[in-house]
Amino acid sequence: MRPKAADMQCKDCVKVAVRVRPFNKRERDAGSRCIISMATNVITIQDPRNAATRRSFSSDYAYWSHSGFTRDRTGLFLPEEEGGRYAGQASVFQDLGEGILQNALQGYNATLLAYGQTGSGKSYSMVGYGPNKGLVPTLCDRLFQAIKGNQDRQCQVFFSMLEIYNEQVVDLLSRGSRAQGG
């Protein structure tokens, strides 16, 4: 018998999150303007050719990482003001990674999928850069800390980070996996 949706814990359900990244250098140099706005979990996109035309979408989580941050001396991105709307890597992990970690520690499989066009910020959210660790390295750190703290527990951990690019599947954590016809 299948469990009713109301009986399922939220951490075990499919979650959809949207993150708005900062402009890159090319976009800043071109004088681009942000056409995305967020209110709670509703994302609104304004047509750049017609300000009156807007489309709104909802998701489980919406992260504003476009502005409102500063960089400390180590390179870590921090909110400019306490309680500001900037969502850093820790916020994303708390909402999305924590449930995956708990399920992995209980022996369950999990899938984390990042989708978007080239340059949309998938790698930053998933892997991060420098001190701004993304979901995968933070998940690995926390998983191995938990395993180290429970050495009497037998644990098997398998990681794979797949990318589908130009209709080719590539395991980003495996050396030599970029063979033709993957």
pLDDT at residue 149, rounded to an integer: 75
- Would 181 be classed as within a structural domain? no
Residues near 50 by beta carbon (within 8 Å), at least 6 away in sequence: none
DSSP state of 74: T
Residues near 16 by beta carbon (within 8 Å), at least 6 away in sequence: 59, 60, 61
- Would 111 be classed as within a structural domain? yes
Token pair recorded at residue 61: 């989580």
pLDDT digits (tens, 9 = 90+) for 83-125: 889 999 999 999 999 988 988 888 887 788 888 888 888 889 9
Q: What is the CATH number of the domain that holds 46?
A: 3.40.850.10
Find, among 143, 41, 44, the residue nearest to 87 by Cα.
41
pLDDT at residue 4, rounded to an integer: 44
- Would 55 be classed as within a structural domain? yes
Lowest mean pLDDT among 3-17, 28-42, 94-108, 112-126: 3-17
pLDDT at residue 41, rounded to an integer: 92
pLDDT at residue 125, rounded to an integer: 93
- Would 177 be classed as within a structural domain? no
Which residue has better confidence, 165 or 33? 33
Token pair recorded at residue 156: 């098997």
Residues 147, 104: contact at Cβ < 8 Å? no
Angstrom distance (rounded) from CA 114 to CA 111: 10
Model-level pTM?
0.78
pLDDT digits (tens, 9 = 90+) for 48-79: 999 999 999 999 999 999 999 999 999 999 99
- Would 34 be classed as within a structural domain? yes
Asked whether the CA dihedral 68, 36, 133, 102 is positive or negative, the reply is positive
- Would 149 be classed as within a structural domain? yes
Number of structural domains the chain divides into: 1
Angstrom distance (rounded) from CA 110 to CA 99: 9
Domain hosting residue 66, numbered range: 5-171
